[in-house]
Chains A and B, each alone.
Chain A
Amino acid sequence: MLYINNLTKKYGSFTAVDHLSLHIPEGDLFGFVGPNGAGKTTTIRIVCGLLKASGGSVRIGSINAPMGSREMKRLIGYVPDFFGVYDNLKVHEYMDFYGSMYGMRSRDIAKLTDDLLELVNLSDKKEFYVDTLSRGMKQRLCVARALLHNPKLLILDEPSSGLDPRARVEMKELLKNLHSMGKTIVISSHILSELSEMCTSIGIMNHGQLVMAGRIEDIMQQVAGGRRIRIQAASGIETAVRLLMEQAGVVVESVMENEIIITNNGTDEQTSALIGQLIQNQVVLTGFYREAGSLESLFMQLTGGGVQ
């Protein structure tokens, strides 16, 4: 769906985005993460036609139009991190205004407005003035506005910033809903736990470069946290600890009453053999599972602790 090829943005001698190449498949919910100054927003603004790139290209689907062209803009729905609204403009007039800016007819806009306000749960606010809505409502209205021209790609820059926990949950549910409807979504967020819950793939940026990108489960497998193993036993903990300490590539991290946490650098076959050995030595196993790595730990590992 979105193909970014060698994208570069320079401000004098400072390189904000450094030869970024990325492919986001259709239907993906892609999370963009990175510390402050990593180049996420710059990348998003270039894709949306709000900033001229110093080099590289962006393609959406089969459309190979210049960046910032009308054809490209028609394919993108953009929700900025912070945006203002007009005083004295009602919700349906707000939608009508932006729909008209995409060349849509008022009759079509009116019908779509009803459907989209229903989708973002703002149907009852149709006659309200936009500036009287809460921040969360405005954010959902902005998503509805971005969907008005039925874009192929929805880009959200920090959609949860400044929202209260309830509004965040509502926004997350809305994005999950849109994803289930087949929309391709790119979201940049500081809330890593939120991204790991809803994204299908992520890209981590640091110093203008893409450090890592891919399916979220594949990435999790690659991090240190993915090799942490939690072993639970009803009895024979001491025997288990002794056996584990004798194994090459196994580091015992902590021992509790009925649980041992280890880091295993061995292969899957070695891990399987380890289970067999524990059972043979009368260790009554009640649990043996690999700990899922958290996005936070991965982020800290890749960006050198520059968490936001």
Chain B
Amino acid sequence: MKIRWNPIVKKDLQVTARSMRLSWGLFAYEAVLVMAFLLALAVIQAENDSYYSSGNIYSSLIYLFPVLAVAQVCIVALITPIITASSISGEKERQTFDIMLTTCMSPMAIVFGKVVSAVIRILFFVAAGMPIMALSFVVGGLEWSSLIYFVLTIILLSVLSGSIGIFCSAFCRRSISAVVLSFAFYFVLYILTFVPTILKLLWSDGDTVGEAPLFLLVNPGVFFEEFFMQLMTGESAFGAETGSNFSPGSVGYVTYQLAHGKVWMFLSAACILVLAFWFMIAAAWKVDPMNTASAASKAGKKRKGHGGQGQETT
């Protein structure tokens, strides 16, 4: 059976591959990774040169992997909304979106194609960062499976970031507004999900956070932290955060069971995926002219403003 490509994925990749922006983006990405690598190496060397050091630098070089991984995740988290937030609003600005909607592609297929093309573009960056990541393997201590898990994590995070970007792109007319709105959603997911835990901590005079950390299941930052703690130490991040008091008493019973049983990471991944699909479905609903009478009409009216060559909607 021949696999049919989503035409939007093919077109987006074709257009992106020919653009100089991709080359410059990859160059900047590599440069940041190299800088992160050299900086981490310098810090490790400086620590090993100290009086208290055993002088065995090799055992410390294993920490290059998380440093580079965190650097990659941060860059991916920053560039994904920039790539995706302009994908639908950019089509609207370019006045190609109306034609797209008159074809047989469903709004969901359009949105899905846009997310997939964004994830593939992110994978270009991840692939480009592989040679630098591979330097952490030179010193040993890491398995190839770690790298595969890392790539899967990046894919998961880029699906979420991409869906947020597409959602904002569907709701905003201008790409710049979509980027700003995407980062507002980032703020909600990465920062505001901590608020229930902090409030609970204050409420209970620091005794317990109860089940409030369950809000953190959708926090990609916490997911990534848990992933690395499990990968590097085999322990849950909750144990590290709460110190020796990590018990059903310090957190709620459900939180304890999820974190202690290593289920947290998988449940968090599932929650993040569900959230990503919700954003995609909402974006598809928004761009479907049959669902939102205002969307296409506003787009049509707006066309008059562009270039002055259009005609009013009515």
Contact = CB atoms under 8 A, between A and B. Distances in A.
Contacts of B306: 82
Given A41-B312, A81-B311, A86 B297 contact: no
Contact of A49 (B290, B303, B310, B314): B290
A101 to B, nearest CB: 4
Nearest to B2: A105
Contacts of B94: 84-86
A172 interface: no
A290 interface: no
B59 interface: no
Interface stretch (A119-127, A157-165, A241-249): A157-165
A229 interface: no
Contact of A101 (B104, B300, B313): B104
Interface residues of B, number: 39
A86 B104 contact: no
B14 interface: yes
Contact of A157 (B5, B104, B311): B311
A88 B98 contact: no
A49 B8 CA distance: 20
- Give the bracket for the number of chain A residues in contact with chain B: 35 or more
The prevalent SS among residues of B at the interface is loop
A84 B95 contact: yes
B307 interface: yes
B314 A37 contact: yes
A215 interface: no
Contacts of A38: 314
B102 to A, nearest CB: 5
A84 B100 CA distance: 11
Contacts of A49: 101-102, 289-290
Contacts of A87: 15, 19
Nearest to B291: A52
A50 B94 CA distance: 17
A82 B296 contact: no
A3 interface: no
A73 B14 contact: no
A50 B314 contact: no
A41 B103 contact: no
Interface string B285-314: 000011111001100100100110111111
Nearest to A11: B297
Contact of A70 (B100, B104, B310, B311): B104
B95 A83 contact: yes
Contacts of A37: 312, 314
A158 B304 CA distance: 13
A11 B306 CA distance: 22
Interface in A1-55: 11, 16-17, 36-39, 41-42, 45, 48-52, 54
A41 B301 CA distance: 10
Contacts of B11: 86, 89, 93, 97
Interface string B63-86: 000000000000000000000000
Nearest to A67: B290
A5 B217 CA distance: 52
Interface in B85-129: 93-96, 98-106
A52 B99 contact: no
A188 B104 CA distance: 24
Contact of A51 (B19, B289, B312): B289
A101 B14 contact: no
B293 A50 contact: no
Count chain A CB atoms within 10 A of each CB in B5, B99, B101 and give the residue with the most: B99
A55 to B, nearest CB: 12
30 contacts: A41-B314, A42-B297, A42-B300, A45-B296, A49-B290, A50-B101, A50-B289, A51-B293, A52-B289, A52-B293, A68-B289, A70-B104, A73-B103, A74-B104, A78-B99, A80-B303, A81-B310, A83-B95, A83-B98, A87-B19, A88-B18, A89-B11, A89-B15, A97-B11, A101-B8, A101-B103, A101-B104, A103-B104, A157-B311, A158-B311
Given A16-B314, A51-B296, A84-B94, 11 more contacts: A41-B300, A50-B300, A52-B290, A73-B103, A76-B102, A80-B95, A80-B98, A80-B99, A82-B310, A83-B95, A88-B14
Lowest 5 CB-CB distances: which A-B pairs, in order?
A100-B7, A84-B94, A101-B103, A88-B18, A84-B95
